[in-house]
Amino acid sequence: MRMRGGSIRTSPCDRRDAALRLAQAKKLLEQADVVAVERKNPAAADGAASLAILAGIAASDAGCCAALGRRSRSQNHLDATQLLVEIHPAGKDAANALRRLLSVKDKANYGIVSVSGADLDGVLRHAQALVAFAEAVMLR
């Protein structure tokens, strides 16, 4: 049996928190889809990507709360991937999806480099995958 822990900071949460974060994730993803319609406008593409990334982070929290009873409270969202891999099944896939989302995060948030159409498709797909993952965890 491997040792527990790692150094990431977590806070306790329960299924009620999970349901709330999942509802937020769905709403954010819905908004991301609406904004993404105007994807030819670079500002809209960045905005849609930012919303989808927030949706993915909220869905990750939901999955962690439902399965583990705790979520990351680190400023570094990448730390949440260490919790996601502990969730069965599909925790590793969820961690990968979050990692991919976060790789686009700064680009989208600061607008220094605009999110391309391909990036936006990927971001929306990964966010959808995380929402589906959280829904599946909630059903167990």
Partner 1 sequence: MDVSRPYSAVSPTLEGEVLVALSRTTHPLTGSEIAKLVRRGTRPGVQRALHRLVAHGVVNSQEAGRAILYVLNRDHLALPAVESLAGMRAEFLRRMREAIAGWAVQPVHVALFGSAARGDGDVEADIDVLIVRPEEIEEEDQMWRAQVGAFEDAVTRWTGNRVALSEISESEAERLRRDRSPIAKELERDAVVLAGAENDPLRCTR
**In the complex, which residues of this chain contact partner 1 (CB under 8 A)?**
1-4, 12, 14-15, 19, 23, 26-27, 30, 66-69, 86-88, 91, 136-140
Residue 78 or 132 having the CB closest to partner 1: 132
Closest distance between partner 1 and the C-beta of residue 103, in Å?
Answer: 25
Closest distance between partner 1 and the C-beta of residue 58, in Å?
Answer: 14
What are the CA-CA distances from residue 102 to residues 39, 79, 82, 113, 124 (Å)? 20, 11, 14, 15, 12
Residue 14 or 38 having the CB closest to partner 1: 14
**129/104 Cα distance (integer angstroms):** 16
Residue 4 or 40 having the CB closest to partner 1: 4
- 126 near 54, Cβ under 8 Å? no
Closest distance between partner 1 and the C-beta of residue 43, in Å?
Answer: 25
What are the CA-CA distances from residue 4 to residues 38, 42, 61, 62, 70 (Å)? 46, 44, 19, 21, 14
